[in-house]
Structure 1
Amino acid sequence: MPASRVLDELLPRRSGPLPRVAVIGAGMSGLALARVLTGAGFGVRVLDTGRGPGGRLSTRRSAEGGSFDHGAQYFTAREPLFRALVDAWVADGVAAEWRGRIGTLTRGAVTPAKASVRYVGVPGMSAVAKALADGLDVRTGVRVERVAREGLAWRLTSETGEDLGLAEVVVAAVPAPQAVPLLAGAPTLAAQAGTARMSPCWAVMARFDAPVAVELDGAFVEDSALSWVARDTSKPGRVPGERWVLHGSPEFSAAHLEETPEAMAPRLVEAFGQALGRDVRAVEAVAHRWRFAMPSPPLEASALYDAGLRLGACGDWCAGPRVEGAFLSGVALARRIAAS
């Protein structure tokens, strides 16, 4: 089955007038929700601040022609619906199993991890987001600042004052701290979202002129300023080279949240060398700050929704800190909206 049909046919298609739906955020959660509701006949519009859909399903191109998955590193598939979608992505060529050597790295000591099936987008993680967004009404490069009641609908306004129109249903599919002001019209939901905490992450995209000698392609790092490192070029469909993504630990990233990218890139490359037990020198290193990277911990709710006010929120901070968790949260909220 084509990937689009897995979600397009999840709910029965409806006829007659249906409420207009505005989704704020084009990450995995918002796109999954939009895909399901569009397939059911709802008019759905997605608005996002980024240059393209995906959120943390992000891929950045390198100056030398390769790319880096500097956000989400891979995804697993456990729940049947998500497994069916991933199988369809694989069949369509936009995802593949990553058979890299994964383990734990502690100051030069390598410990292999238990076997697990991990998937990545091809040729980058953003490919799966683009596949989900295909055919949807997605507008990028716009930040929604205000959601205000107007009659039986909600009027959305951008940070520049642009009128973004009306919708009967509004969903905040963004990190919890960003969802709180958008949910001001539903104080109970805003308070719930306000209890969610999200940790930051400094990510460094590092290129080396020779292979880094370590018997791992991805590693959870212990006793370090780093929490994770990955040889991005070990993933399927990537341009050859020696490119690594280095993720700072939540504690380190929070302690240095307001540092400049120029200061953080060499520090985390140095930490990589310490984790390996020897010096390494990158020929290119660029840092990116994810201010809201990981829920710690997520709420015990699949999604938030007020059926009377028709305001809701979804994301990995609701259903679990994984790509699959974000997906399940979006689908759960789509079902609730359709049912109401």
Structure 2
Amino acid sequence: MSAGIAVIGAGIAGLACARRLHEAGHAVAVFDKSRGPGGRMSTRRGEGWQCDHGSRYFTAQNPVFRAEVDRWQQAGVAAPWPARPRVIGNGPMHEADPSTVRYVGTPRMTAPARLLADGLDLAVGHTIVELCCDDAGWQLVTAEHGPLAGRYSAVLVAVPAPQAMPLLEPIAPALAGLAGAARMTGCWTLMLRYAAPPPLPFEAAFVNRGPLRWIARDSGKPDRTGAECWVLQATAEWSEAHLEEEPEQVATQLLDAFAELGGPPPAAWSAHRWRYADSRPGRTPGSAWDPALGLGLCGDWLAGNSVESAWLSGRALAELVAG
């Protein structure tokens, strides 16, 4: 007999899905290839510094997600970020929409994901490479540990579209087609450390010219500690064109672009390449569930390319599965 539900991916979508199913009384096991939960809600830490190098912030428009963010705030894992981003390019520098409330995880961006994961059966360091089904149910095969012993009545895939497609193609062509219709692009991120705050006229900025799309004083976010840190993120187009370059080459070009905007050379830097960061969905069903197969899909790439859409996608899939 198969028992329980497997969720592949411990980003916000997978965790929201697993948490809702857990609350509904289902036995849920979550698997992720990384060292911890969060996906792109990620924080890099080094000696005396930390920097959110994935998701920049999140907003809450949907009332159900607003209630979830309220819960996060009450738990102390999220707070409004009072920075007022500027817009650079396409005319004089000006303030972005002041009515937008932006939130961040506290004391780092991973905190909401860790709250969602609390109490769940989470296995990290498990890269799922194959799904097999027999009379006992679904079995997961990993790159690190081979076939896993457990069997599951359902498998819910909450990973980027290019990673979901090869898993689903041999067993669920329609779901694989959804993944194949989405285009995901990469993003180069540069984390800069300084001895003192740079003398810039903004703490965050959207950039509409050159290779940069986002600049922010990460150490200015609520409850941050450690060295003065800024984050630079490149545009999807520039990142895709330079995806295979060495970090040193990428850093030189992004630091040059930052210097043109007044940014001084950092005391130290680190680079991170997100191979799958942004999505351009081919279709946007929010989530997908095949009850006959016991297979489902969720993720921001199915719902709108944001933390909020990822959470809503995972939640929607859980509701479909729970019936």
TM category, shorter: over 0.9
Q: Percent identity?
A: 47
Alignment partner, residue 21 of structure 1: 5
Contact 1:66 1:238 in 2 (8 A): no
In structure 1, stretches of 5+ residues that fail to align are 1-16
Aligned to 2:213: 227
Aligned twin of 1:79: 62
Q: Which amino acid aligns with 2:223?
A: G
CA contact (8 A) 2:200 2:263 kept: no
Q: 1:87 to 1:18 in 2, by over 3 A?
A: farther
Distance across 2 between alignment mates of 1:240 and 1:108 = 35
Kindly state the Cα deviation for residue 233 of structure 1 after the two structures are TM-superposed: 1.1
Match of 1:176 in 2: 161
Indicate the structure whose relative CO is greater, using CA pairs within 8 Å and at least 6 residues apart: 2
Give the 3-state SS of the residue equivalent to 2:57 in structure 1.
coil
1:197–1:34 CA distance, 2 compared to 1 (3 A):
same
Residue-by-residue CA offset, 1:194-233 (whole Å, 9 max, x unaligned): 1100111001111122322222211111111011111101
- Does 1:218 pair with 2:204? yes
SS at match of 2:42: coil
Matches of 2:316 and 2:281, distance apart in 1: 19
CA RMSD of aligned residues (A): 1.7
Q: Could you tell me how far apart the structure 1 residues matched to 2:209 and 2:4 are?
A: 50
Q: How does 1:59-208 map to 2 (within 5 A)?
A: 59-63=43-47, 65-106=48-89, 109-115=92-98, 116-151=100-135, 153-160=137-144, 162-164=146-148, 165-184=150-169, 185-208=171-194
Q: CA shift at 1:128, angstroms?
A: 0.7
SS at match of 1:166: coil
Aligned partners of 2:205, 2:97: CA distance in 1, in Å?
12
How many angstroms does 1:114 deviate by?
A: 1.3
Q: Match for 1:269 among 229, 250, 255?
A: 255
* 2:315 maps to 1:331: yes
SS in 2 for 1:214: coil
Q: Choose from 236, 240, 250 the match for 2:236.
A: 250
Aligned letter for 1:280?
P
3-state SS of paired residue (1:265): helix
CA distance in 2, matches of 1:211, 1:318: 39
In structure 2, do the counterparts of structure 1 residues 159 and 173 end up closer, same or farther at CA, with 3 Å as the change threshold? same
Q: Residue 320 of structure 1: CA displacement?
A: 0.8
Provide, for residues 300-323 of structure 1, a one-character-per-residue CA deviation record: whole Å limited to 9, x for no partner. 211011110011110000011110
Aligned length: 320
Between 159-168 and 215-224, report the one with greater CA deviation: 159-168
Q: Is the 8 A contact 2:181 2:281 kept in 1?
A: no
